Every structure is written in structure tokens, then in C-alpha cells.
Amino acid sequence: MNKVWVVRKKQRRQHSWVFSNEIKQVEYNPELGDAVLVYDRDKFIGSGIYNPRSLIAVRLYSAQEKELDKSFFVEQIKKAIDYRKTVLPEEIDYRMVYGESDGLPGVAIDRFHSSFALQTFSSAMDKRQDIIISALQEILAVDCVVEKNDFRLRDAEGLARRESLLFGTGRQVLISENKVKYLVDLMQGQKTGFYYDQRVTRARVRALSKDKDVLDVFCYTGGFAINAALAQARSVIAIDASEPAIMLARQNAELNSVAHKIQFEIGDAFKVLRDYHRQQRKFDLINLDPPPFFKSQKEKKQGLRGYKDINLQAMRLLKDGGILVSSTCSHYLFWQDLFDVLSQAAQSVDKTFKIIDRTTQGPDHPVLLSMPESEYLRCYFLEVH
Ligand code: SAH
């Protein structure tokens, strides 16, 4: 195999990525997407995939010398499934592969019963889509595989954005999470079709919703609203800007026999929340689960303003003793940033809050200690004090 010599700083030695400026020497001219053996000074550190065009020049996939062949994918996917059997024993629908955290850098696979949504973030994995599909078929019954590769991270790897059906047929699939049923639209849905990362937060919201007037902002296909309704909330309103998302949310509410309890609204959350304030409407529990308002360090300042604004709008609508559940999925928005945004928003509305809980992405999105970037979802539960 090709060899790459690198020199890494002490604090980066365990990280799964090698940056291009850490590379000292490359032997035998590996090409884009090739597997390489990586040495830190003279010490062998593992096998990785190579991209000479990307800032992330090598992504390590094993501490051993391993070919990136079908048997490797079979082994890793089996491990990933076994891990989820342990941490989510009741579930069969989940994020089945979460990149580096499952030893498959640059690959995400969401499992929707026997349909699968595949995302590839690196050239090496992009080239090996067929091997990944055939590994899946060796392990599980596979009805359908869709490629959901329409996201910005692909640009940095020099990969085109695309979405397509790679295998089988089928558009809508039925899944369950925490015993709640959802239809997932494989081709038209946002991201991979469903946001499995909020599994834990949804369960927490459900536990807090009984007898409450609940507002679910950025509801997508209804995850939080349906949980609140199932928990006997007094009333539930759910808002999203996307009409197809709201249509599916309504179907999902029907599937779970709570359609009569939820009022769905299509609209811009920033505007709707301002209108509600003017109308002096109040809620006991408000869930905010916005899309990322920024995707790079450069956009951070502007993005933080968006978070402050939407949180401030929500805080104004809370009754005494009300609860705000505030999430962010922006990679570069860290816990301290969210804390600061929430404190500033609270000051602006002249309210004080206590933090009653914090949640993050569920155990099907495990975070690597050696790779802080693998944590991206952060959520505070605040109660008006
Ligand atoms: N809470 C959802 C996931 C939310 S994803 C769940 O549990 O599944 C973010 C959602 O915000 C998307 O559905 C998107 O359509 C919606 N959105 C984006 N900008 C918006 C805006 N300005 N107003 C309302 N909704 C918006």
C-alpha cells in the first residue's frame, strides 16, 4: 500500500484526521481516494484514506494495516449494529453508521427499517458506494438505498452534490422512535429524511408536556409536537416554513392518533413568534429546534445573532414557570456560546431562568473523545425562575 509520513502535534496524535500541513512525505504517489498506511515520524499509526485536494488530507479508519474492501465494511457495519443493540435495545430505526465514531470516516447511514439513506463525505467513500451497498446486503435485508449527498461539506472534498436512488424502489417508509410512528420520505425529505439526533431530547420533552400549552417551532415532520400530544399536553401548536414537512407532520399526527390535538402552521418562525407576541399569546413549553444558522467560523457572528433573536422571541412568549427547550445543531456553536446566547436573550426580555437539563445527540451519534467535532447538537432546558 501507499505510505504517508506525517508529523502531528502532541494534542492531535489521537485525532482521526491528518491535515495537509502535517504531511511530510508521501511515497508511491497515492491518488485521490486511495487507502494509505500512515506513519507519525517512524511510528505506524494506522490505515487511512487519502485526499491530496482536501485540507483533511488523511482520514484514519483503522489502527491496523487494513484494506478498504468489502470485508472491512461488513466488519465495521456489524460492529456498529451490535453497539446500537446495546445502547438502543428497543429500536431498529436509527443512525446506523456515524462516520469516524463507527470507524467509517466520511460515511453516514440512517436505517429506516429495511431502507437506508447513505451520505458520503469523502472521495474514498464516494467511490466505494457500491461496496458499501453490497456489504449492507450481506448483513441485512435491503429494500432500498438512497444517496442523500446534497450538502456543503462535499464541496471542500471536491465532490458534486447529488441525491438519487441507488438501489430498489420506495419513497415513504414507516419507522418508529421511542414507540412513536413516523413516515419518512426518502427522496423528498430534508437531510437523510429524519432527524434521529433528537431522540433523547424528544423523550425529555414528552416527559415534561402533560397539561401544558406547547409550542413546537421548526417542527419539520412533527417529532416534538407528536410527543407532546401523546403526553396529554393541553394544547399543541407546531410551526415550520416547509409545506411538504407540515403535510407529512399532519400524516404522522394521524398515524399516532393525535391529529385532533395539534394545530399545524406553515410560516416563518421569526415572523410567527413576533405575531404571537403582539397577540399576547403565552405558552408553558416552547421547543426551538432551528436549522443551523451558520456553517463556518466566518459566519459565526451573524449566526449567533439569529440564535439570540429566536430565543428572545420564544422567551417573551413563556408563562411564569414556563420552559424553553433550545437546541442548536451548528457545529461551531459550542456549549459556552449557547449559554452566552441564552443569557443575553434572557437579559433582553428581563427574565431569569434556571437550567433544568441539557441534552445532546442520542447514542446512535456517539462522540469521540479524540474528535470533538463529532459533537454538534446541544440543547438547554430552561425554566422561568
Ligand atoms: N424539530 C424537527 C427538526 C427540525 S429541522 C424534528 O424533530 O424532526 C429544522 C426545520 O426548520 C426544517 O424543517 C425547516 O423546514 C425549518 N425551517 C427553516 N427555516 C425556517 C423558518 N425561518 N421558519 C420556520 N421553519 C424553518
Residue carrying the nine cell digits 488530507: 57
User: Same domain for 127 and 221?
Assistant: no
Q: What is the CATH number of the domain that holds 52?
A: 2.30.130.10
Q: Which residue has the cell 481516494?
A: 33
Q: Which atom of ligand 1 is nearest to the CA of 242?
A: 15
Q: How many helices (H) and strands (E) does the chain have?
A: 10, 20
Ligand 1 geometric centre to CA of 256 (Å): 21
Q: Do 22 and 124 have their domain in common?
A: no
Contact 367, 101 (CB under 8 A): yes
CB distance 269 to ligand 1 below 6 Å: yes
pLDDT tens per residue, range 265-293 = 999 999 999 999 999 999 999 999 999 99
Answer yes or no: do 36 and 84 share one domain. Answer: no
Residue 184 lies in a domain: no
Whether ligand 1 lies within 6 angstroms of the CB of 219 is answered as: yes
Same domain, 151 and 85: yes
**How far apart are the CA of 197 and the centre of ligand 1, in A?**
14
Do the domain assignments include residue 120? yes
Ligand 1 touching residue 289 (CB < 6 A): yes
β-pairing, 35-40 with 56-62? unpaired
Residue-number span of the structural domain to which 339 is assigned: 195-384
Q: Is 271 in the pocket of ligand 1 (CB under 6 A)?
A: no
| Catalytic residue numbers, as ranges | 329
Q: Whose CA is nearest to atom 12 of ligand 1?
A: 220
Q: Is 35 in the pocket of ligand 1 (CB under 6 A)?
A: no
In this structure, are 53 and 131 located in the same domain?
A: no
The residue nearest atom 9 of ligand 1, judged by CA position, is: 291
Dihedral in degrees, nearest 10, Cα atoms 304, 305, 311, 313: -170
Q: Which residue among 178, 215, 220 has the greatest number of ligand 1 atoms within 8 angstroms of its CB, and so is best to mutate?
A: 220
166 pLDDT more than 80: yes
Is residue 273 a part of any domain in this protein? yes
Q: For residue 196, which of 373, 329, 365 has the smallest C-alpha distance?
A: 365
SS3 string, 233-276, reads: CCEEEEEECCHHHHHHHHHHHHHCCCHHHEEEEECCHHHHHHHH
Q: Are residues 201 and 338 in the same domain?
A: yes
Quote the pLDDT of residue 205: 98
Residue 129 has pLDDT above 90, yes or no: yes
* Phi-psi sector, 187: left (phi>0), alpha (psi -120 to 50), beta: alpha
- For ligand 1, the distance from its centroid to the CA atom of residue 129, given in whole angstroms, is 29
Ligand 1 in reach of 266 Cβ (< 6 A):
no
Domain presence at residue 332: yes
pLDDT of residue 151: 85
In a domain, 93, yes or no: yes
Statement to judge: residues 269 and 375 lie in one domain? yes
Contact (Cβ atoms closer than 8 angstroms) between residue 24 and residue 378: no
Query: Of 13, 40, 62, which residue sits at a domain end?
Result: 62
The pLDDT value given to residue 156: 79
The total number of structural domains in the chain stands at 3
Contacts of residue 367, Cβ cutoff 8 Å, sequence gap at least 6: 101, 360, 361, 374, 375
Which pLDDT tens digit goes with each residue over 47-103?
Answer: 999 999 888 999 999 999 999 999 999 999 999 999 999 999 999 999 999 999 999
CB 377 within 8 A of CB 358: no
Residues 240, 323: one domain?
Answer: yes
pLDDT of residue 214: 99
CB of residue 284 inside a 6 A radius of ligand 1: no
Whether 316 and 218 share a structural domain? yes
CA of 328 to the centre of ligand 1 (A): 11
Listed residue (133, 128, 153) closest to 145, CA to CA: 133
Domain boundary among 140, 174, 208: 174
Distance 190 CA to ligand 1 centre (A): 10
Q: Name the DSSP letter for residue 220.
A: T
